[in-house]
Amino acid sequence: MDDKTNALREHVKGIFSNLELVLGWEPGYDPLHTRPFYVRTESDIDRLTANCLSVHNLTRYLAKSMNAVDPAADGRKIGVCVKGCDSRSLVALIQEKFVSRDRVYVIGLPCRGTLDARRIRALVPDPARIRSVNAEGDELVVETDQGISRFALDRAIARKCLQCRYPNPVIHDVLIGDPVTPRLKIDAENPSVAAVEALSLEDRLLFWENQLDRCIRCFACRNACPLCVCQNHCIMETRMPKWLTQYRNMNEKFMFHMIHALHLAGRCTECGECERVCPVGIPVALIKEKINAIIYEMLDYESGIDPEAVPPLLTFSPKETGI
Amino acid sequence: MSGKIYVAHDALSGLLDDLSKKFRVWIPQMMDQASGHIAFGVYAPGKKPELTRRSRLSPKKILFPSTDTLFKFTHVKDPKDPVRYTIDLKESFDNGPTLVFGARPCDTRGFQTFDQVFLKGQYKDVYYERRRQNTLFATLVCQDSDTACFCSSVGSGPADMTGSDMAVIPIEGGYVIEGLTDAGRKLVEASGSAPSPEQAAEAEQIKQKTAAMKVGEDDLTGYADDLTRRFTDMDFWREQVSPCITCGICTWVCPTCYCFSITDEASGMSGERMRSWDSCMFYLYTLEARGHNPRPTKMERYRNRVGHKFSYFPKKYDGMVSCCGCGRCIRTCPVSIDIRKVVKELKETADDRA
C-alpha cells in the first residue's frame, strides 16, 4: 500500500465524533513494523499510520476482541481500516452474523501489496540495522547503516500479494486513494497452489512433512485468523473431549492444520494472516488456498465478496450441482 | 596450556565432528531457507552452524523439551482375577552428555531462571537437573544485536558468559574458543591447538569491546513495585494489550518461560505421563475445574506475563529479572507488542520515569 497516512488522518479527524473508536495501525518498534492500533481519543489520530507495512488484518478484532464494544457508545459505529483482502474477511464476518454491517464504518484502502519483513531481511546485507523502508513506485528503498539499497518491490512483498485478485476493498463507506489494478484475474489459477500440485504425490507429501514438522503449536495461525471463531473451544485445547494429545508429532500437527483448513473451507478469504504470523515460516495459507480452489471449481463460490450470499458449506441445497 | 584454542573457519566442521562423537552437539542451523528459519538442531556431519544470524527459537528445548516423558506406565492384569491389576512404572530419562555450541549469551543466560526454580528451591526437578549437569555451553560472543535486542537492559550484555563453560570469540579467519569452567577448559584443551599470541590478543580485544557495548537503551530492572501499583489499572493494560491476539508465540520462543502442563497420554493398557510446555497466554492455562477463570481476558493474562518476569520473580529471587533480553517475543509477535515499552510505561508519570 502506498503511504496514505496523511489522507487517512485527515479523514478520521473529520468523522471521529461520530465513531466509538477506529481500528488502524501505528508505527511499531522499528522501521520494519507497524502494529494494530485502537484510536480511542482525538489525540490518538496523529499516531495513525497506513502504508506498505500495515500488514495486519484488523477485522480480526471485530469478532474476537473483548474490548471493541463499549455499551456506553450510544450505538456509535466502530471505524475499521481495511485493505482489499481485509474487506473480504469483513464480508465473511457479516455473512456469518459475527459483525453487523450497521455497526461498522469501513475505511477502504486500495493496496498494491504489503511488505514481508522476512523477505526484506533476506534481501539486505545488514538486516539487523534497517533504518527505513519505503515503497517508491515499483521499487523498494531500504536504508541500513551501510547505505541505501533498491530492490524490485515484488521481491519484498508478501506471497499473498503477488497473487492478489482483490486489491480494492469490496465494501467500504469511504475509499482513501485511487483503486489499483489487480495482479491476477478473478478466475486465474493460483500460481502457488499450481506449483505444489506440479510435484509428484511423494514429493508433495515430503514437502508438507518438512513444512509441518516445524510447527510448534503456538496457535498464532488460528488466533490471527479473523474467521477462526471457536476461540476457547478449539479442538486443539479442549480436554473434554480430548481430540488431540500433547505430543508434538506429525500426526497431531497434521490433524491440527487439516482441521483448521477444513473449518475454513469456503470461508477463508485468503488474507494470509495465518501465514504471516507463523513464527517458523510454514506456508499454512496454501492449504486453505487449495481448498478454496476446489470450492470455486465445484461450487462456483468465492468467499467474502457478497455480504448477502450464504457460504456453500453453511447451507444445504437438495438441488446442489457440481458435486 | 592456556585454556584457549584457535579454530579456523574451515576447521570448524572437523571440530564439531570430533565433539559429536562424545556429545550430542546442538547448533543453531538453518531449518528452512525460504523463510530464513533458524533454530537449534542436533549436529550431524555436513550440517553447518548458523553463527552470523540469530535463531528464531531459543535453545530452551534442549534442557526443557516441549514434550518430555516423565515415566511410562502399563496396567498389568492379574490373570486369575482380571478385574484387578497392578501398574508397572518405568523411569524415563534422556540425558546423555550434551554440548550446546553457538548459543548467544542471552540464550545461555536464560537457563539461570530455570536454575532458580528447578534446582535451588526445596524441591529439585530431577529431569532438568540431570540434563543440566550433563550439558556444556560454548557461547558465542555476540556482536550483531538488532532492533529487538535488549540484553543490557536486564542486567546482562552481549559478552555476558554467565552459565557458559566456553566462550566462542569470532576473530579474523575463525574463532578463539576459551574454556571458562573446569569442564570447559578440559574439553577445549583436548580439542585443538592454542591460538598465536596475535590471535589471542585479537580475541581478548573483541571480548572487551563487546563487553563494553550497551544493547538496549533503558534499565528494565527495579520495576517490581511499579507493577504492583499498576496492577488494577485496567485502562493501562487495555491500552498495552489491545493488539494482542493471545497466541502463545511469546512464551514458546522465550528462553525463560518455564510453565508446563502434565498429562497422561495413554492408549489401551499403557501410556506415558508427559510434561509439555504450557502458555500463560492461553485461556485454558488458568481455567479451573469448576469453570471459573481468574484470568478471563488477555489483559489479565498479559499482565501476568509481564508481572512474572519483572515483578514477582525479582521479588522472590533477589531482584533477578526473569527475562534475558533476547528480544524474541518482540521479533516474533504477530502484532509487534514490545515488552520493553510496556515495562517502561509501568512507571506512572514522567517524574517516575526520569
B291-315 pLDDT per residue, tens: 899 999 999 999 999 999 999 999 9
- Pair (A145, A100) in one structural domain: no
- Pair (A142, A281) in one structural domain: no
Tell whether A322 is covered by a domain: no
What pairs with residue A151 in β-bridges? A140
- Pair (A146, A81) in one structural domain: no
What distance in Å separates the CA atoms of residue A24 and residue B219, rounded to the nearest whole number? 31
- Pair (A222, A148) in one structural domain: no
- Total-model pTM: 0.93
- Pair (A141, A100) in one structural domain: no
User: Would you tell me which residues 13-72 of chain B have a C-beta closer than 8 angstroms to some C-beta of chain A?
Assistant: 31-32, 34-37, 39, 53, 56-57, 66-67
- Pair (A20, A84) in one structural domain: yes
ipTM: 0.92
- Residues of chain A in contact with residue B142, where contact means CB-CB under 8 angstroms, are none
Among B54, B57, B147, B235, most A C-beta atoms within 10 A, so best to mutate, is B147
Domain final position from A156, A176, A206: A156
Tell whether A82 is covered by a domain: yes
Amino acid making up residue B350: A
Q: A42 falls in which pLDDT band (50, 70, 90)?
A: very high
Tell whether A323 is covered by a domain: no
- Pair (A254, A129) in one structural domain: no
Cis omega (within 30 of 0) for bond into B59: no
Query: How many domains would you assign to chain A?
Result: 2
- Pair (A96, A164) in one structural domain: yes
Q: A155 falls in which pLDDT band (50, 70, 90)?
A: very high
- Pair (A19, A52) in one structural domain: yes
- Residues of chain A in contact with residue B69, where contact means CB-CB under 8 angstroms, are none
Whether the per-residue pLDDT at B353 is higher than 60: the answer is no
Sorted by where each begins, the domain ranges of chain B are 4-353
* Strand, coil or helix: A195: helix
Cβ of residue A233 closer than 8 Å to a chain B Cβ: no
The pLDDT, as a whole number, for residue A244 is: 85
Host domain of residue A131: 119-156
Tell whether A321 is covered by a domain: no
Among B347, B321, B270, B2, smallest CA distance to B155 is for B321
- Pair (A191, A296) in one structural domain: yes
Tell whether A319 is covered by a domain: no
- Pair (A129, A201) in one structural domain: no
Beta-carbon contacts of A322 under 8 Å, excluding residues fewer than 6 positions away, are A297, A298, A299, A300
Neighbours of A14 (CB within 10 A): 10
Mean pLDDT value of segment B176-192: 95
Whether the per-residue pLDDT at B1 is higher than 70: the answer is no
A165-207 pLDDT per residue, tens: 999 999 999 999 999 999 999 888 999 999 999 999 999 999 9
- Pair (A190, A72) in one structural domain: yes
